[in-house]
Structure 1
Amino acid sequence: MLFAILLPGISMIFRGHILKGLLCGILHITLIGWIPAAIWAVASYREDLAEKRHRETMEFLARQRR
């Protein structure tokens, strides 16, 4: 998460969000835009974690039904 705060655009690109990462990187270049870019990157990171937990839960429930 620290990586998402310090380098938000690169953080998004590493997680597979290429276009979001480029837009976030452009926003990050401006000093005023760094704070919104960092918030966006952290929110995206948390969303990816929630999505991963959801997938794991659904796989677990599917295995329990068998």
Structure 2
Amino acid sequence: MLFAILLPGISMMFRGHFLKGLLCGVLHITLIGWIPAAIWAVASHNQDQAEKRHRETLAALARGPR
């Protein structure tokens, strides 16, 4: 999470969002754009984590009770 705040563009690229990461990196270059870029990267990180939990929940439901 700290990586997403300090280097938002690179953080997004590492998670597979290359075009978003590039745009976020361009925002990060400007001093005014750094804050929105950091917020965007953290929100994207949280969304990726929520999707992962959702997939795990669906997989557990598909397996059924044990």
Shorter-normalised TM range: over 0.9
Distance in structure 1 (CA, Å) of the matches to 2:37 and 2:21? 9
Displacement after TM superposition at 1:19 (Å):
0.2
TM-score, normalising length: structure 1: 0.97
2:38 corresponds in structure 1 to 38
TM-score, normalising length: structure 2: 0.97
Distance in structure 1 (CA, Å) of the matches to 2:13 and 2:7? 10
The gaps in structure 1 that reach 5 residues or longer are none
Distance in structure 1 (CA, Å) of the matches to 2:29 and 2:51? 29
Q: Give the superposed CA RMSD.
A: 1.2
The gaps in structure 2 that reach 5 residues or longer are none
Aligned length: 66
Runs ≥4 in structure 1, deviation > 2 angstroms? none
Distance in structure 2 (CA, Å) of the matches to 1:11 and 1:63? 33
Aligned residues: percent identity? 82
1:51 corresponds in structure 2 to 51
